[in-house]
Amino acid sequence: MTSSSHRYGAGFPKIGIRPIIDRRRLVKAALKDMTLELAAGVAELLSRHLRYPDGSPVQCVVNDTCISGVKEAAQCSNYFAQQGVGVIVSVASGWCYPLETIETNAQLPHAIWGFNGTERPGAVYLAALHAAHNQKGLPAFKIYGRNVQDLDDASIPSDVQEKLLQFARAGLVLALLKGKTYLSIGSVSMGIAGCIVNETFFQRYLGMRNAYVDMTEVTRRIEYGIFDGEEFDRAMAWVREHCREGEDPNPLKAQLDPNRKKADWETSVKMALIVRDLMVGNPKLADRGYEEEAYGYNAIASGFQGQREWTDHYPSADFLEAILNSSFDWNGIREPYTVATENDNLNAVTMLMGHLLTNAAQIFADVRTYWSPEAVKRVTGYELTGPASDGILHLINSGPAALDGTGEQQREGMPVMKPHWEIGAEEAERCLNATSWRPTYRDQFAGGGYSSDYLTRGNMPVTMARINLVEGLGPVLQLAEGYTLDLPPEVHEKLDSRTTPTWPTTWFAPRLIPGDPVFDEVYTVMENWGSNHCAVSYGHIGGELITLASLLRIPVNMHNVPAKKLFRPSAWGAFGTKDAESADFRACAAFGPLYG
């Protein structure tokens, strides 16, 4: 399947810009041009800096007339609905009538920029409108520049730009999730609670639906050849050329013979094709008479149970998870797919959030081990220094760590994980060359298969995150910004060999905050992590994740984001200003899930 245009067949949500104005005739005439110019400037800013998952610029729709009353507000709402607007930004350069110009769709993320100018105080309208939003239970984001501007200054100050972009990134994620599907392939893996699909969470918090396929459907499609055979041949040729097979870790008597290993490669590739087709469909299957199978499930994310009902008999899903989560395969460079190992749908949602905020691939990992400085020195003789001086976390898992996580992509000479449209062919090749495919340990995966094995390069700013479900509370988000680390090769080998060295490793140190109850030391970060899994995104995106969480009414129970980067709806301040974390919990409980 060389084309994935059907992947977003319904199109992408747009950002609607609402220019708001005072309806008094003389005031309206005086401010019309200025207000429209500000609105056009916001649209240009967002389209210039933001991209959809396919790499195309985000589209903004500016209402062509200024909104001064109820009739125009209703006309704008209808127009935006026709245009597929999923996020709203209102712009005002002076006083307007709040209750007559308000947008009342509670499910559309909404921010208001009130121009900070003394001649025509947009800030006064901003304050009055937010009071109306809060009184009506319609939380909105308040944007107000720090410095007073002249009335004829239509530029967007840098602090206003930062807030507009942070809000719009998060709002677009919310809009992209709505109506999409999480596809559960299989059920619960090895008793892991994160595999339990909670439909209430997906429906009420994310606006998503759920679909379910038994793993026997993958078996059926393998046995009956329900995949694109031409693509399979091309994929196998690509695998033989680009996927370097690593050392077999099994005792000689437990190793599979070469013919069985060759067959495992073929099955692994078929599994990848089939899971992708289950997610997004494949029009070529219809040409072969498989009309139903060609549809797919409109899945923006999926999970594969694997262990143990599958892996005790068939090759592991490590290859399908690693290659689909990566930004490239036999069809070239393309947007990653989000596929969670062990059907951990909560980690899949977290990966999806990180991907849609950054447009880059994600690393799925176990939060495997906290290595204290003392333990590292005892085992290796090496003394941790710099960002690692308080200890390190060993992030490692068998399958779904995208090959982008090698850090072999670069920007200005530094390792990065890029959106797919920025990745060059030579960078994809470096990621593949840095990865070996190791036969799985037969005592864990009796059915054989291959796991990706690589070491993430150090000095990358990353954010580790996870959504958890807690009885009586609901979903909560936790995150830790920090850096990947380079250890001396011999130190890495000694530490890595104590667990499963055939899997990809990321050494991580969270950014510490002296005196913080959690982030004062690395040990307490590990101690307070709410699950065995995490998702790792490139960049320090904690602020954007927190903004997104507030839109979804998901409180954040631990983070190390500076206070000045926290951006939530203005209503959150009414729940307390001394303790922002507690106020977040109260606000999310009071407003409830976005979709009821």
Instruction: List pLDDT tens digits, range 356-404.
Output: 999 999 999 999 999 999 999 999 999 999 999 999 999 999 877 999 9
Please give the structure tokens belonging to residue 134. Answer: 């809060």
Q: Which range, of 23-32, 161-170, 242-251, 294-303, averages the lowest pLDDT?
A: 23-32
Q: What is the mean pLDDT of residues 110-116?
A: 90
Instruction: Return all residues near 467 (Cβ < 8 A) that are at least 6 apart.
Output: 346, 347, 349, 350, 475, 476, 477, 554
Instruction: List pLDDT tens digits, range 55-67.
Output: 999 999 999 999 9
Q: What does the DSSP assignment read for 460-526?
A: -EEEEEEEEEETTTEEEEEEEEEEE----HHHHHHHHTTS-TTS-EEEEEEPP-TT-TTTTSHHHHH
Q: Rounded to whole angstroms, what are the CA distances from 157 to 36, 149, 260?
A: 17, 9, 63
Instruction: List pLDDT tens digits, range 434-452.
Output: 999 999 999 999 999 999 9
- Cβ–Cβ under 8 Å, residues 182 and 570: no
Provide the percentage of residues in the chain whose pLDDT is more than 90: 88
Instruction: List pLDDT tens digits, range 244-267.
Output: 999 999 999 999 999 999 999 999
Q: Rounded to whole angstroms, what are the CA distances from 128 to 37, 38, 122, 135, 295?
A: 23, 20, 10, 11, 49
pLDDT at 118: 62
Strand partners for 482: 462, 510
Report the C-alpha gap between 177 and 467 in whole angstroms: 16
pTM over 0.75? The answer is yes
247 annotated binding-site participant: no
pLDDT at 6: 60
Neighbours of 412 (CB within 10 A): 5
Whether pLDDT at 145 is above 70: yes
Provide the percentage of residues in the chain whose pLDDT is more than 70: 98
The runs of H, that is alpha helices, within 338-454 are 345-358, 373-380, 425-433
Strand partners for 13: none
Which CATH fold topology does 181-591 show? Answer: L-fucose Isomerase; Chain A, domain 3 (3.20.14)
pLDDT at 2: 44
pLDDT at 175: 97
pLDDT band at 354 (very low <50, low <70, confident <90, very high): very high
Which CATH fold topology does 6-177 show? Answer: Rossmann fold (3.40.50)
Report the C-alpha gap between 319 and 389 in whole angstroms: 35
pLDDT at 154: 84
Instruction: List pLDDT tens digits, range 205-237.
Output: 999 999 999 999 999 999 999 999 999 999 999
pLDDT at 110: 97
pLDDT at 4: 55
Catalytic residue among 366, 427, 496, 544: 366
Whether pLDDT at 153 is above 90: no
366 annotated binding-site participant: yes
pLDDT band at 10 (very low <50, low <70, confident <90, very high): confident
Q: What is the mean pLDDT of residues 471-477?
A: 96
pLDDT at 295: 93
Whether pLDDT at 3 is above 60: no
pLDDT band at 111 (very low <50, low <70, confident <90, very high): very high
pLDDT at 215: 96
Domain segments of the chain: what residues?
A: 6-177, 181-591
492 annotated binding-site participant: no
pLDDT at 515: 96
342 is catalytic: yes
- Cβ–Cβ under 8 Å, residues 438 and 450: yes
Phi-psi sector, 459: left (phi>0), alpha (psi -120 to 50), beta:
left
Neighbours of 64 (CB within 10 A): 10
